Structure 1
Amino acid sequence: CHVCQGSGVIVRPRRLEVKIPPGVSDGSRVRVAGEGPRPSGRGGGARGDLYLVISVRPHERFSRRGDDLHTEVNVALLDAVLGGEVAVSTLKGKAMLKIPPLTQNGRVFRLTGLGMPHLGGGAKGDLYAKVEVILPADLSPEERELFEKLKAMRKVGPKA
């Protein structure tokens, strides 16, 4: 016929709903049984399997390495110096992270089990939160005076 041009196969687009298992990574293949093409020729036969190649979009907040996730967490200067708690975004919401006193900028904390699920179920990867110490955008006159006193106490200044 003019539609199949003698191949015996008519290609029609159709929509399938496919459940993608948690934990798949970029480039993974997912098999959908019985949804592939029929064998060509007369007599046909059962449909083959359809294989989908997964392409995972980058997340705005997390980067992924295996089953582990990496993110950055803003920590106020005073919390970094004196200690405190900050909320860290996770895949399921928020988790509280204790910041010990004198935490340095760039320090990485591991939150166990808050990463991606392992493909096939079971355990999860970890979430690594890198500290970004945030300096105040402005200071009141009183705050500036306190920092000046602290600077004088610690004798911090340019090195010759």
Structure 2
Amino acid sequence: MAFLDYYNILGLSKTASEQEIKKAYRKLARKYHPDLNPNNKEAEKKFKEINEAHEVLSNPDNRKKYDEYGEHWQHADAYKEAEKQQKQQRSQYRTQDQFSSSDYSDFFESMFGGAASGASNRQVKFRGQDYNAELQLDLKDVFKTHKRTLTVNNKNIRITIPAGIENGQVIKIKGHGGEGINGGPKGDLYIHFAIINTTKFKRDGDDLYVDVNIDLYKALLGGEQLVDTFDGQVKLTIKPETEGGTTVKLRNKGFPKYKKEGVFGDLYVTYRIKIPKNLSVKEKELFTELQKLR
């Protein structure tokens, strides 16, 4: 993975304040957002880099590590621990008057394969950097399990997206992060899902909610009504004298449960009575007669 200069990505200097980081991120995120750049792979790549840069620099602890260790900032704690051990060993050798300048190499040389006196040429192994990626999908896209190819750091990764995944959910793809250091294991890839709902259904977990308009006459006299579900239509029987706001539950017509093949939530249908408008003279007369009867 090529080293990403997070400050350069956001167009900032290392002395930028938290407010400047936030302002730069918002401006660039709007500019390169996938919704404004459909089918633009370069903009999509830029958007991911901007999010990664903001994720690190907006966190004071991570920013401090990044400023000190650059691309190896995620291993900062391990570096500090190794450096502490080096100092302790050097102090011990000085006390015993056995220390010589040839016994130890530079700290970072040691971290990446240097040898210590009295020890074998043992390299310190570090796990690779974890990658983070955001995948934006429509609610319709996650109604069924499907496969999708992602491009992360110029590599194509084929993944299976289970039906029922939720907005904000994170999936870990093991071993698809950065290369390890000195033969260490690869990092992991974390995919953050952003689910956009462009349907008329409201989702709450595995359940779906939808409003259905019925005319005044059907509400009063009853009848049949075709109702859309997420995967087709069903015919419902409207009882006579149905009030507006009445809700009926359709079992197993909701959203699929995550990683439970063939298991679904419920669909709640709420009837909204549509009042007739632009009545004719005759209709007004009939409604007036009806009012007198009541």
Question: Does TM-score exceed 0.5, indicating one fold?
Answer: yes
1:120 aligns with 2:120: no
Distance 1:6 1:30, change over 3 A: closer
Displaced runs of 4 or more, over 2 A: 3-9, 11-19, 31-34, 45-49
Task: Tell me which moved more, 28-37 or 74-83.
Answer: 28-37
Query: Alignment partner for residue 107 of structure 1, among 240, 243, 246?
Result: 246
Show the counterpart of 1:157.
none
Query: Alignment partner for residue 60 of structure 1, among 199, 218, 234?
Result: 199
**Partner letter of residue 228 of structure 2?**
S
CA distance in 1, matches of 2:71, 2:192: 30
How much is the aligned-residue C-alpha RMSD, in angstroms? 2.5
Identify unmatched segments of 5+ residues in structure 2: 4-69, 73-111, 113-127, 129-151
Write the mapping of 1:1-160 to structure 2, written as runs, cut at 5 A: 12-39=153-180, 41-43=181-183, 45-121=184-260, 122-154=262-294
Deviation at 1:33, TM superposition (A): 3.3
Going by fraction, where is strand more abundant, 1 or 2? Answer: 1
Identify unmatched segments of 5+ residues in structure 1: 155-160
Task: Tell me which moved more, 11-20 or 82-91.
Answer: 11-20
Task: Tell me which moved more, 61-70 or 28-37.
Answer: 28-37
CA distance in 1, matches of 2:281, 2:263: 52
Aligned length in residues: 149
Normalization by structure 1: what TM-score? 0.80
CA distance in 2, matches of 1:88, 1:37: 49
Deviation at 1:142, TM superposition (A): 2.2
**Partner letter of residue 86 of structure 1?**
Q
Deviation at 1:138, TM superposition (A): 1.8
Deviation at 1:13, TM superposition (A): 3.7
Show the counterpart of 2:88.
none
Contact residue 20 and residue 30 of structure 1 kept, 8 A: no
Higher RCO (CA 8 Å, separation ≥ 6 residues): 1
SS of the residue corresponding to residue 95 of structure 1 reads strand
Q: Which has the larger radius of gyration?
A: 2
Deviation at 1:15, TM superposition (A): 4.4
| Residue-by-residue CA offset, 1:34-79 (whole Å, 9 max, x unaligned) | 322222x233x55333121222112330111111001100011101
Deviation at 1:125, TM superposition (A): 0.3
Q: Percent identity?
A: 35
SS of the residue corresponding to residue 272 of structure 2 reads strand
Distance 1:32 1:118, change over 3 A: same
SS of the residue corresponding to residue 284 of structure 2 reads helix
Distance 1:22 1:6, change over 3 A: closer
